[in-house]
Amino acid sequence: MNIAVVTSGFLPVPATKGGAVENLVVNLLNENEKKHNLDFTIFSIYSKEAVEEAKQYKYTNFEYIKVNWLARLLDKHLFFLAKKILKKENSHSYRYIFQRLDFLSKVSRKLKKNDYDKVLLENHPTQYLCLKWRKNYLKYKDRYYYHCHNELPGTYGCNDIIKGTNKVLCVSNYIANNFKKVTGIEESKLKVLKNGIDYDRFSKVVDEHTKKNLKAKYGIKDYEKVLLFTGRITQGKGVKELIESLKNLKYKNYKLLIIGSVLNSIKLKTTYQEEIESLVEEMKDKVVFTGFINYDEISSYYGIADIAVLPSICEDAAPLTAIEALVSGLPIITTRSGGIPEYAKDGSAIILEKDGNLVENLTITIDELLNDENKLHEMSEKAKVVSKDLTVEKFYSDFCNLIK
């Protein structure tokens, strides 16, 4: 069975430039190399590094799309307008609009020209445009699927096509309920497919030599406890609130390690990130901003941390950062956000409300945990228990059962 997978159109697969969804797709492909239950065709934006890395795959064909210069130029000017003139808080979302439309148009042609047993759209409802254009939704009737990782921002004139989806694979019950509310799709078409990660990589104990070198790199003293934030530096992730919560912290022997950027390895700076960097500068003795870290290296950073703090103020569907922290055995401080409580549960996390008291409650909770070794140990053990099924193997097996 050959499954065509339409990826984002702005980050490549394999995930040489990062990206949570892109790394999930890579996990799927890697497991398929071992099990070979499916044959994949991946539609991805072109990247020289990705093309080179793709050569290792035996059961996946990669179709790389090069975007024309005009789309890139239009995006550059649109981003400048959104950031500098209109002062949009989410200006990063305007950065790749024309590129993605060009990408989807070219994918649409290929779907029309070739034939695939099934088509899987990854992550954003605009992907449905490659089915709408050239009436591919008729060609692939009952054979197209959607993998939903986030709340739907809209249906982009594709609502009837969306309702014709064979199955919508949702990363959490929260997302399934949101999808039904926005589209009115039949409930029987909504299936929860929980995310899974490389369990061995993140559960592995990091050796003392690696820990020592990492701490030295960022000026972390042996007696300092490490708070860890990983994720995109956008308003919805609550980075600003986290930094502000530290100003009144009574516990002093700590460092906050902030790992992430606006759009993974892509060099893009928004007004919000500039504000975060300014706040970090004010607290540079306590806060370290690493920028983007390659996914292959990220598990070592979890290994030097004592607590993961993920205070999302948006409705976070099922962030891989929470799963990575759980598998790493880290206690988590997070929020009642989207699908997070479906993963970080049963005493593995302290879940705060996303209200006007969030900053104050973060301060109190971080202080309490930093001062309570027994609680840290208890939460760490519970994190290992609740995460034991969040593996790539189970993710792949569930995916195959749903797609077949």
* Predicted confidence (pLDDT) per residue in 181-193, tens digit: 999 999 999 999 9
For the whole model, what pTM was predicted?
Answer: 0.91
- Per-residue confidence (pLDDT) for residue 186, from 0 to 100: 97
SS3 category, 121: strand
Answer yes or no: are the C-beta atoms of 130 and 155 closer than 8 Å. Answer: no
Is residue 115 helix, strand or coil? coil
Same domain assignment for residues 276 and 381: yes
pLDDT score of 264: 47
Q: Which residues contact 335 (CB under 8 A, 6 or more apart)?
A: 238, 310, 311, 312, 313, 351, 352, 353, 354, 358
Same domain (yes/no): 259, 143: no
pLDDT in tens, 349-399: 999 999 999 999 999 999 999 999 999 999 999 999 999 999 999 999 999
Do 182 and 204 fall within a single domain? no
Across residues 330-342, what is the average pLDDT? 96
171 and 134 inside one domain: yes
146 with 232, same domain: the answer is: no
- CATH number of the domain residue 304 falls in: 3.40.50.2000
Contact 329, 350 (CB under 8 A): no
Residue 130: how many other CB atoms lie within 10 Å = 27
Residue whose structure tokens are 């994190």: 383
pLDDT at 393: 97
Are residue 174 and residue 211 in the same domain, yes or no? no
Q: Give residue 399's pLDDT.
A: 98
**Does 204 lie in the same domain as 175?**
no
Residues 133, 181 within the same domain: yes
Rounded to an integer, what distance in angstroms lies between the CA atom of residue 179 and that of residue 44? 25
Number of domains in the chain: 2
Query: Which domain covers residue 367, as residue numbers?
Result: 199-386
Please list, in sequence order, all residues whose beta carbon lies within 8 angstroms of the beta carbon of residue 297, skipping any fewer than 6 positions away: none
Residues 274 and 175 in one domain: no
The model's pLDDT over 223-277, given as tens digits with 9 standing for 90+, comes to 999 999 998 888 899 999 999 999 999 999 999 999 987 544 455 667 788 888 8
Predicted confidence band at 281 (pLDDT cuts at 50, 70, 90)? confident
**For residues 390 and 323, is the Cβ–Cβ distance under 8 A?**
yes
pLDDT at position 86 over 60: no
Beta bridge partners of 349: 332
State mean pLDDT over 283-309: 92
Cβ(271)–Cβ(87) below 8 Å: yes
Which residues are paired to 289 by β-bridges? 258
119 with 216, same domain: the answer is: no
Same domain, 175 and 269: no
Contact 4, 94 (CB under 8 A): no
Among 9-23, 131-145, 157-171, 339-353, the minimum mean pLDDT is found in: 9-23
| Helix 20-35 and helix 392-403, axial crossing angle in degrees, nearest 10 | 80
Question: Mean pLDDT across the stretch 69-80?
Answer: 70
Q: Which of 25-34, 74-83, 106-115 has the lowest mean pLDDT?
A: 74-83
- How high is the pLDDT of residue 265? 46
16-66 pLDDT, tens digit each: 988 889 999 999 999 999 999 999 999 999 999 999 999 999 999 999 999
CA atoms within 13 A on the CB side of 396: 19
pLDDT in tens, 212-221: 999 999 999 9
pLDDT value of residue 279: 87
Distance of alpha carbon 64 from alpha carbon 229, whole angstroms:
33
What is the DSSP code string of 96-158?
Answer: THHHHHHHHHHHHHHHHHS--SEEEEES-GGGGHHHHGGGHHHHTTT-EEEEE-S-----TT-
What would the pLDDT profile of 193-202 be if each residue is shown by its tens digit? 999 999 999 9
pLDDT at position 178: 96
Question: 399 and 379 in one domain?
Answer: no
